[in-house]
Homo-oligomer: A and B are copies of this chain.
Amino acid sequence: MPQQPAVVLLSGGVDSTTTLAVAKARGFAPHALTVSYGQRHAVELEAARRVAAALGAAAHKVVRLDLRAFGGSALTADIAVPKDRAPDEIGHGIPVTYVPARNTIFLSLSLAWAEVLGAWDIFVGVNALDYSGYPDCRPDYIAAFERLANLGTKAGVSGMRTFAVHTPLIRMTKREILRTGLGLGVDYALTLSCYDPDDAGVACGTCDACLLRLKGFAEVGIADPAPYRSGTVAE
């Protein structure tokens, strides 16, 4: 029986890479979608390409959409990325790295591709636990998007099936995410999580994304295989 296609949002970080591995393990033919949105950390597009190739995505599209047109985020405008925040600061309040309506835009693009592919399944690596405080990572939000998808598409109103947005990581800690991916053979050396990497893709080690990632690897008890700028991370 041919595999069902599924669209997987892939940034090239730990969470979306793990999500791609989970979609594949569940028997879908993963179609990876990466959005080049003018993000400060555009080098993550290279990580997405490496991951899609290594994990055997059935297809990988990189769609350009320059969200710098709107700005309003440390990832898309000239706003500094916070560094060296304490663990109890991360996850309290919505940080300046929040990109207005980003997941809504990304899920909409996934839906467009899913409809064209004849796919009913979308995977997104949102996480409501170690989630850095983003509102568009919560279960209620995901359910609202599913409802919208089924009302607002030709496929959805056909009554044949309904769209499902799968969020396999939504209640996992970063440690659980890493264990899941490692169990599926993911090579995290391919991934990039940092909000503020250098041009070669070397991570800063001190932004929220790096701190959450490093904490996760420490809890799993293995060294993070990603490169960090010297002196930022304890050896």
Contact = CB atoms under 8 A, between A and B. Distances in A.
Interface of A: 61, 63-67, 69-72, 94, 98-105, 108-109, 111-113, 115-116, 135-136, 138, 140-141, 144-145, 147-149, 151-154, 156-157
Contacts of A145: 148, 152
B105 A72 contact: no
B112 A108 contact: no
A140 B149 CA distance: 12
Contacts of A153: 100-101, 104, 135-136
A67 B147 contact: no
Contacts of A65: 63-65
Nearest to A99: B112
B152 A103 contact: yes
Contact of A152 (B64, B144, B147): B144
A208 to B, nearest CB: 15
A45 B1 CA distance: 45
A70 to B, nearest CB: 5
Contact of A104 (B61, B140, B148): B148
B101 A105 contact: no
A70 B151 contact: no
Contacts of A69: 61, 63, 113
A220 to B, nearest CB: 31
B94 A154 contact: yes
B94 A102 contact: no
A69 B32 CA distance: 13
B152 A113 contact: no
